[in-house]
Amino acid sequence: MFYSGVILALGLSYLGAANAGQHVFSPSDAFSSPDGPSLANASDFFRLSSISSLDHFTELAHPLVPGHRLRVKKSVFCDPTVNVYTGFLDVDKGAKHLFFYFFESRRDPDQDDVMMWINGGPGCSSAMGLLMELGPCNIRMPDGSPVGNGTLWNPYSWNNEANMFFLDQPVGVGFSYADHGLTVETTEDAAKDIHAFLTIFFENFSQFKGRPLHLSGESYGGRYLPVFASEIYDQNRKALAEGRQTINLQSVIIGNGITDISTLYEGRYAIECGTAALDIPFQTIGTCVRMKRALPRCQAAMQSRCSDVFDEMDCRAAVAFCDTELSAPMFSSGRNNYDISKMCEGGNLCYLEGDVIAEYLSSREVRKMLGVQSDEYFQPCAGDVGRNFWRRFDKFAVPTQYHVANLLDRGVRVLIYAGTYDWQCNWVANKLWVDKLEWSGQAGYAAAAWRNWEVDGRTAGEIKVWDQLTFATVRGAGHMVPHDKPAESLALISRWLAKTAI
């Protein structure tokens, strides 16, 4: 995501840290260097491409987001064909630190859109998406390949046509961390940090001001992204009223997400015991009969205790019943719940890649390349973060589909895509909630026809489009669509960004 454009650093002062090997841009001395920087005249223009140090961070701050600081350095990580940057957003006067990877577009970084990718969990690092799915490089698996730096160049990366952020959020995920035991335990709280991150980036690197922004992710991203986008939209309204620059939010892209919990278990039954994924169901008849009998009670309890009126104690009881009757059989089957066509492998999300990624990102050489100083072994998914969100019952407390409806009614485009082999956040459950979504285009979407969509003359899945809303399936893919169907996922995103027919 970088640059040969001009960047206006509004209201910023230049602080030169003697012998510190870094530049600090700040409206005050709130984040001044411990070396006691001297104040100099601010440069009117600052380009991201002017950051050249591989060893030291450049620090940026802005009066619009007081108490926040962005630290950026250049890196040779992952993609040798573009400029790469890594760094931290320091939030709440430096108490919380969000880590990001930033790759310029391979096509035209000065003109192409900006896209942010996050993984789900909650608690899973965006490094999983970067190194296993849609990033500029994939982790090299120990299969006899030539010795290299641990990664392989990915010709199907989404940065082929967009400037890409990969963000570890909330704090405690991946290389993100917090001081003084601070935590983020709800999506709504996380949204404030996301808005601050984007604001300080676009304000400091004005070559990207006004550039279309797309929020993308998968899994728990179905909860995260609509809330993050809503926070950006609402803050944009405040900015307009105050005569300030807004963030050009254009779309939300959710892959195999969890958004409306009311349809989750019905979808899981269809994947496990029906023919929505496999031609012949893999689950035993006896188990499917028991699940079928439990399903109506589960749905009624979820609707009355979690959706119509949220009562945490009653909702927890409903979820416990549904999981016992409708989820436990899957977990005891030995199959990969993210791709039911396979058996579970590895200790991280049933994929061997997770263990290799953890080892790779734990190496000192790689961490030096990234600017990370932690000595802790890398965790693809942070259990503490997931438990904190579960303790707050974040997934069930707020009906996130209402955020989607409001975004659509305000002109924000939404793409929902889903691999057909996923059980965890399956395509049936996503189709069901999208079908019943209450928005201004509900009738039009209901009347719209399904059709096949193709890549290189082959059917890739089915698609339905009405106005700002698109729903697409990806045949033969699991939860991590770019991992299973890289060419198809890139084609889908390329057409979405270009606003051409999918």
**Looking at the annotation, which residues are catalytic?**
219, 422, 479
8 Å CB contact between 437 and 259: no
Pull the structure tokens for residue 377.
Answer: 């072994």
> How many Å apart are CA 406 and CA 412, to the nearest integer?
9
Q: ∠ CA 14-165-485 to the nearest 5 degrees?
A: 165
8 Å CB contact between 339 and 422: yes
> How many Å apart are CA 177 and CA 197, to the nearest integer?
15
Q: Which residues does 389 contact at the CB level (< 8 Å), separation at least 6?
A: 121, 122, 123, 185, 186, 187, 395
Per-residue 3-state assignment (H helix, E strand, C coil) for 99-130: EEEEECCCCCCCCCCEEEEECCCCCECHHHHH
8 Å CB contact between 291 and 269: yes
Query: Which backbone phi and psi does 158 adopt, to 5 degrees?
Result: -70, -15
**Tell me, what amino acid is at 75?**
S
Q: ∠ CA 326-328-332 to the nearest 5 degrees?
A: 135
Q: Decide the pairing of beta strands 213-219 and 249-257.
A: parallel
